[in-house]
Amino acid sequence: MLSVQPGPDEVGPGIARFETRYEDLTQDGHVKLTALPTALGRACFTELWPQHPLAGLAREGVHPILSRLAIEVEPASARLLGALEGRGLLRLAHERDADDNVRAIFLNAEASVWATARRARSDETARQVRVGRVFGDHVFTRPHADRASRKVLAFEVPGYPALPTQRYARPKFDQTVRIAPKARALETDFSADIAPWVFGLTHTDRNQHVNSLVYIRLFEDSALRRLGSLGRNTAVLARSVEINYRKPCFAGEQLCCMLQAYVTRDGDGVVGYIAEPGEPVSRARCAVRMQFSAPSDGDVEQRAS
């Protein structure tokens, strides 16, 4: 997931600590997916980005907008109500099309998340374990400009290169909902969740649309309903999620979640997309892939620092 190679456009590391909430951990001490993106906000965008020469582009209406988020939870248990530590990096990169023209410029943020291990014995020394990783690619754009002026294909900052040197190829939207060749489909095609997604003000944030993490929470609910309807084990934890954002949702909308379940050697998974009823995946608001696994005896504090 965190595969962008180091280069001259890398900034970091940024380190930030933040408290876990009671609801951030499962009953066996595993950190939930939605607790981890805070590491990007604190370690990357609070610690690193304000000091970057390109941060001033915000005054000209240019912002890095989240377009894709990938999160993984490690098989490690954290201490209840302890602090999490995010260790983050920022990397600039650009994408080109088939004709070698610049298509987009990215600010890629990644962080590993560490916690104090839940002690197995009373005499064990407290130690840090990695509990997860999170990656977000952000496209530089002018979100409030007219459609023809929104794309940012070069920087115009005195003393700063017009383009990052690194190349980046973002995963295609439809790849997110494509079942891997080594997986076995549990259903022949996509079908709608039994419950529509109904958005209210509680799902929104100050960006005036549904918050990016809401989709993950709602999709996990939909995925568990689907796995349960197929007779699969639902006492499972969402270990990873990849979500590709295309268009925001807003309070007052009712949308359809289309799902298809599959199974791999590591556990069950579900791919899906959120769209208006009857719309194809190419018109979806976002596409999601979520992998589950059941807790096991192997879920121990593995990656000690």
Predicted local confidence at residue 6, as pLDDT: 40
Q: Tokens for 96?
A: 């080109």
Predicted local confidence at residue 29, as pLDDT: 80
Instruction: Write out the chain's pLDDT in tens, 305 residues.
Output: 433 344 458 888 999 998 888 888 888 888 899 999 999 999 999 999 998 889 999 999 999 999 999 999 988 777 666 788 999 999 999 999 999 999 999 999 999 999 876 664 454 556 788 999 999 999 999 998 998 889 999 998 888 899 999 999 988 888 999 998 899 999 999 999 999 999 999 999 998 999 999 999 999 999 999 999 999 999 999 999 999 999 999 999 999 999 999 999 989 999 999 999 999 999 999 999 999 987 654 444 444 44
Whether 151 and 177 map to the same domain: the answer is no
Whether 70 and 185 map to the same domain: the answer is no
Predicted local confidence at residue 28, as pLDDT: 81
Whether 181 and 150 map to the same domain: the answer is no
| CA distances, 49 to each of 43, 72, 131, 298 (Å) | 9, 23, 24, 38
Backbone angles phi, psi at 39, to 5 degrees: -60, -35
- What CATH number corresponds to the domain at position 19? 3.10.129.10
Cβ count near 55 (within 10 Å): 13
Whether 227 and 243 map to the same domain: the answer is yes
Predicted local confidence at residue 179, as pLDDT: 93
Q: CB within 8 A of 79, min separation 6: which ones?
A: 29, 115, 116, 117, 118, 119, 126
Q: Show which of 128, 146, 169 is a domain's final residue.
A: 169
Q: Show which of 169, 201, 219 is a domain's final residue.
A: 169
Predicted local confidence at residue 118, as pLDDT: 63
Whether 156 and 52 map to the same domain: the answer is yes
Residue 126: give the domain boundaries: 1-169
Whether 38 and 152 map to the same domain: the answer is yes
Three-class secondary structure of residue 36 per DSSP: coil
Q: Show which of 137, 169, 201 is a domain's final residue.
A: 169
Whether 38 and 164 map to the same domain: the answer is yes
Predicted local confidence at residue 30, as pLDDT: 84
Whether 70 and 186 map to the same domain: the answer is no
Q: How many domains does the chain have?
A: 2
Whether 217 and 115 map to the same domain: the answer is no
Whether 147 and 245 map to the same domain: the answer is no
Give the Cα separation of 269 and 227 in Å (integer). 9
Whether 203 and 67 map to the same domain: the answer is no
Is the peptide bond between 13 and the residue preceding it cis, with omega within 30 degrees of 0?
A: yes
Whether 89 and 140 map to the same domain: the answer is yes
